[in-house]
Structure 1
Amino acid sequence: MHGDENERYEAARGLARGRRPARVLDVADPRAWTELDETVREASARGVLAPHDRLTRGRPGLPPPWWTRPGSGGPRLGSRPGEAELALALCDPDGRIREAALGHAGSRPGVLPLVAIRSTDWAPPVRERALGVLRTALPDAAPRTLAVTVPVILRVAGRRRGGAAGALLEELLGGCPEATLASLLLNRDRATRRLALRVAVARGHLDAGRLARIASADNDVVVQGVASDAAIAAMTAETEEEVLGRLLAGRTGRTRAAGVTALRRAGRTPEAEPFLYDRSAMVRACARWTLRQGGTDPLPLYRARCADPARTTGRAPLGLAECGERGTDMPVLWELTAHADPAVRASAVAGLRSFEVSGRDRERLLPLLADPAPGVVREAARTLEPVAALLPPAELARLTGPERPPHVRARALRLLAAHGGAVHAETAVRLVEDADPVPDPAAALPGQPPAGRRARLRQVWRAWLA
């Protein structure tokens, strides 16, 4: 779901036409279930979903096939409802209908996520009955049912009345089969993976190698952190090579940083040196700490690497700036802004920014705004942004010319916008008729939403043309 109003209502209409929830929802997304619950009530209140549509599959004039109102009492269960009818009944604005629907829900795994939502219902009878259904149905539920129900429980557990559902889930996972936890570790919902991992670690189900694999493969930073720490804690002499190898080769900086830090525990601190030049600032910092713990000062290593252009690697200049001295190391960084490797040039400019360039240095950075490498131009523009008002506007305007590459034009235009003045207004008017759509004049007005930027740009144009 998550679409516009018509798309959300169409899911409710699909249920009214007898289509199962799996046919109208992305059942693996817990938000789809909570949105369905809200949409059915909203659609009913607005008349988009007629009362008979909610329970009779669109047969006007017919009573609901599975419940009746006997006198002044509440709904009485009749024939077995279909899954679509049951889903709508569980979302019905009438609490008596929701409560009656729960009597059929325990044997229908396809609607257990809606039962989870009802476990936080404002009506105590509905809430207690839903918790009873979950308590009975979840322990024997198939992995595919848990895969869609557990994320919904976690999503509603933070609600005002969701504590009981959250406690029930923790109790369930505390004693569930290992295979169930293994399947939840692969769930699309990151909150589910986090909980499953914590439970699996607490129960000792995962060995160090498996934890290292999870840390290196998962894209969630919390999972990466928990799995990395657990892998290192469980690491033995036999598993050391596998664990460190996977962590150090991890795709994310957090995982590699954990591996670099663990090198000290393994007595392998010299192996941290290559990570002094890692693309992640966290990894570089951990590598410096690990080397210092082993008695090696990283600063001479950085200086030696940056002194030889043939050996200088991408992030070496930035690492030098992170632990170097302004008077000693800044000249080296200036020299590296002319390096043949664009990654080294960009890193050198970023390092200069950390040293806070002076007024004279600003003039030296201006030519780098025309560098053929987008990364170098990006770092140069970021360095010059705080002093954009002091830059020569004519030079910035020249960099927005049609003969320049798009990345140069776009960055120069943003700096010119921060500068302001007549030159910026004239350039903005010229770029309106520009054939190249990359440098959007409106995007060069910072601090405003797109609509506001364009409105402000129109004002600039009118003032200039007047």
Structure 2
Amino acid sequence: MEFDQALRSWTRFRCHGTDLARDSAPVPETTLGLALAMASGDGYRHAEVLRYPSVTVYPRLFPLVLIRTVDHVPQVRTLAIEVLPRLIAASDHETFAAMLTVACRLQDRMHADPMLELVLTVLRESADDDILAILARLEGRSVRWAGQALIAKRRLQAPQLAMIAIGRFDDRLQERCAEELADQAVPQSDPDLLRPLLKARSARVRTVALTGLIRLGQFDGVDEFLTDRNAAVRATTQWGLRRAGMEPAARYRELLQPPPPSPKPVIQGLGECGQKTDVVLVVPFLDDPRPQTRAAAVNALKHLGAELDLSRFLIDPAPSVTRAVVAYLSERRTLPPVETLRELARGNQPIHIRRSAVSLLREHGVWHRIWVGLTLYDDPDTNLSLDGLSGLGYWCRYQAASINAPIDNQLRSELQALIRSRSNVLYFDTRQTLQWLIGTARPTTTY
């Protein structure tokens, strides 16, 4: 479509003396020659080229013919619609998939209905294996559009729906096919339609299949998904076990004693549905050699409401662990001292440790946020430096008027010194706003 628009403008103004827009001018009967003429800015040229028998020889021209079916000239549209069935008959799966992609993008154009009806009818009337092969070559919006059109006309039966749901197709199309299967299985009380979907790679499909089975009262084998890697699948399984009169947290406790070879999903599940007394089962995994397990333990402790000091894990070598610790400390409001965080933020620590310290420093209040911005203004790490620069500018423009927090006199002096040292790099309005706010803020009251 971009090619068509660009060529239309190029030939309309006769750029470089091209003759492609001139009716009856010789056209090289090659893919490029016919494409240039078919996308020219002259409707007579379009009609002339569509009559060429060689148009059906070059598959790369077929999507351009689709564009001509929504041309603003009625005669061109008629010619394009007439030649379209021959092009589709000569197309392989890849070419027809390309045509469907263009058809999807043209669906909102005026006069698109005849073309859409034609290509979708051909798709619906194709053999089952051909339909699956064509859908496998589509992606994004076009495959969802084509798949929905097939589902709406009940063209895809249970075997095809299952093959799409568990195959290598677009995630959302897989989910839609799984939902269609569930809509058939539940009224028919046929759980066998859904059981094959439990092996799908897509977590969305597994979730839909589990939901349908639970609605049918089929709980056999459901507990196997308590340790699924996906949180939505685990949550659905936990819901199903409760409906069956079982307690999922008890099952998680059993799985942790003794610890399984891969404890991460078990820890995650216990954190999602356990109680505060389960903290003792999770704490030993804070020292696990696997970073993902340590991060899962920190997140589980957060969900369980543990009252622990996890600040020592801010220097963990794994970024996933430090991010989890930041979330835990922020939610529990058990922030490490300012000096400790400053040392981590300014020291020769790995970048993920510095970023974690900066995040927690900002939680100490607005004046420490300003300190972070001024300190990181010229930081060697580009992301931290840009964060400091943009953060200060945004804060001074949109949030400065709402600041009424008191400030410690020592921190006031530090900030004023930082502003003076940055006087040559701070924007003038930012510098003035910061000086005024820091200078007029009331001091912290001591008792």
Q: TM-score, normalised by structure 2?
A: 0.71
Does residue 441 of the first structure (1) align with residue 384 of the second (2)? yes
3-state SS in 1 of match to 2:98 = helix
What's the CA shift for 1:224?
1.4
Alpha carbons 1:388, 1:416 under 8 Å: kept: no
Match of residue 348, structure 1, among 291, 297, 301: 297
Partner of residue 381, structure 1: 326
What's the CA shift for 1:87?
1.1
The 1:204/1:43 distance shift into structure 2, 3 A limit, reads closer
Alpha carbons 2:175, 2:204 under 8 Å: kept: yes
Report the aligned-residue RMSD. 4.3
What's the CA shift for 1:171?
2.2
Match of residue 168, structure 2, among 218, 237, 244: 218
The 1:111/1:264 distance shift into structure 2, 3 A limit, reads same
Match of residue 309, structure 2, among 353, 364, 376: 364
Task: Show the 5 A alignment for 1:32-51.
Answer: 34-44=1-11, 49-51=15-17
Structure 1 stretches lacking a partner, 5+ long: 1-33, 56-63, 69-77, 454-459
What's the CA shift for 1:390?
6.3
Alpha carbons 1:305, 1:311 under 8 Å: kept: no
The 1:377/1:270 distance shift into structure 2, 3 A limit, reads farther
Does residue 397 of the first structure (1) align with residue 342 of the second (2)? yes
Task: Show the 5 A alignment for 1:67-106.
Answer: 67=24, 81-104=29-52
Partner of residue 249, structure 1: 199
Alpha carbons 2:341, 2:358 under 8 Å: kept: yes
| Structure 1 residues 369-388: Cα deviation after superposition (integer angstroms, max 9, x where no partner) | 22233221122234456799
Match of residue 291, structure 1, among 231, 237, 241: 241
Distance 1:222 1:463 in 2: 55
What's the CA shift for 1:222?
1.8
Task: Show the 5 A alignment for 1:311-322.
Answer: 313-322=263-272
The 1:114/1:351 distance shift into structure 2, 3 A limit, reads same
Match of residue 184, structure 1, among 119, 134, 138: 134
Alpha carbons 2:377, 2:388 under 8 Å: kept: no
Partner of residue 232, structure 2: 282
Partner of residue 398, structure 2: none
What's the CA shift for 1:231?
5.5
Number of equivalent positions: 392
Alpha carbons 2:94, 2:134 under 8 Å: kept: no
3-state SS in 2 of match to 1:251 = coil
Alpha carbons 1:143, 1:183 under 8 Å: kept: yes
What's the CA shift for 1:281?
1.4
The 1:43/1:336 distance shift into structure 2, 3 A limit, reads same
Task: Give the AA of the match of 1:101.
Answer: V
What's the CA shift for 1:368?
2.4
Partner of residue 425, structure 1: 374
3-state SS in 2 of match to 1:107 = helix
Distance 2:286 2:334 in 1: 24
| Structure 1 residues 160-217: Cα deviation after superposition (integer angstroms, max 9, x where no partner) | 4433332222222232344532331221434444455456665666663x64443233
Distance 2:69 2:9 in 1: 20
Q: Tell me the percent identity.
A: 26
3-state SS in 2 of match to 1:67 = coil
Distance 1:88 1:79 in 2: 9
Does residue 168 of the first structure (1) align with residue 118 of the second (2)? yes
| Structure 1 residues 294-348: Cα deviation after superposition (integer angstroms, max 9, x where no partner) | 33221322344457656882133332333344x5456655565455543333223
The 1:160/1:196 distance shift into structure 2, 3 A limit, reads closer
Partner of residue 357, structure 2: 412
Alpha carbons 1:200, 1:206 under 8 Å: kept: no
The 1:262/1:127 distance shift into structure 2, 3 A limit, reads same
| Structure 1 residues 201-256: Cα deviation after superposition (integer angstroms, max 9, x where no partner) | 65666663x64443233252222113334566579999959x735x3333331132
Partner of residue 442, structure 2: none
Task: Give the AA of the match of 2:265.
Answer: R
Partner of residue 52, structure 1: 18
Partner of residue 157, structure 1: 107
When structure 1 is superposed on structure 2, of 87-96 and 101-110 the one drifting more is: 101-110
What's the CA shift for 1:99?
3.2
Alpha carbons 1:397, 1:427 under 8 Å: kept: no
The 1:151/1:244 distance shift into structure 2, 3 A limit, reads same
The 1:395/1:219 distance shift into structure 2, 3 A limit, reads farther
3-state SS in 1 of match to 2:101 = helix
The 1:35/1:216 distance shift into structure 2, 3 A limit, reads same
The 1:297/1:169 distance shift into structure 2, 3 A limit, reads same
The 1:446/1:196 distance shift into structure 2, 3 A limit, reads farther
Structure 2 stretches lacking a partner, 5+ long: 396-416, 424-447
Match of residue 273, structure 1, among 207, 212, 223: 223
Distance 2:12 2:329 in 1: 56
Q: TM-score, normalised by structure 1?
A: 0.68
What's the CA shift for 1:44?
4.1
| Structure 1 residues 12-69: Cα deviation after superposition (integer angstroms, max 9, x where no partner) | xxxxxxxxxxxxxxxxxxxxxx11112213434676x4352646xxxxxxxx6x716x
| Structure 1 residues 376-432: Cα deviation after superposition (integer angstroms, max 9, x where no partner) | 112223445679996643322322355533432333344446752335533554x43
Task: Give the AA of the match of 1:313.
Answer: P
Task: Show the 5 A alignment for 1:96-135.
Answer: 96-104=44-52, 107-108=56-57, 109-135=59-85
Distance 2:10 2:326 in 1: 51
3-state SS in 2 of match to 1:400 = helix
| Structure 1 residues 418-458: Cα deviation after superposition (integer angstroms, max 9, x where no partner) | 752335533554x43xxxx5x7323544977xx999xxxxx
Alpha carbons 1:184, 1:196 under 8 Å: kept: no
Task: Give the AA of the match of 1:89.
Answer: A
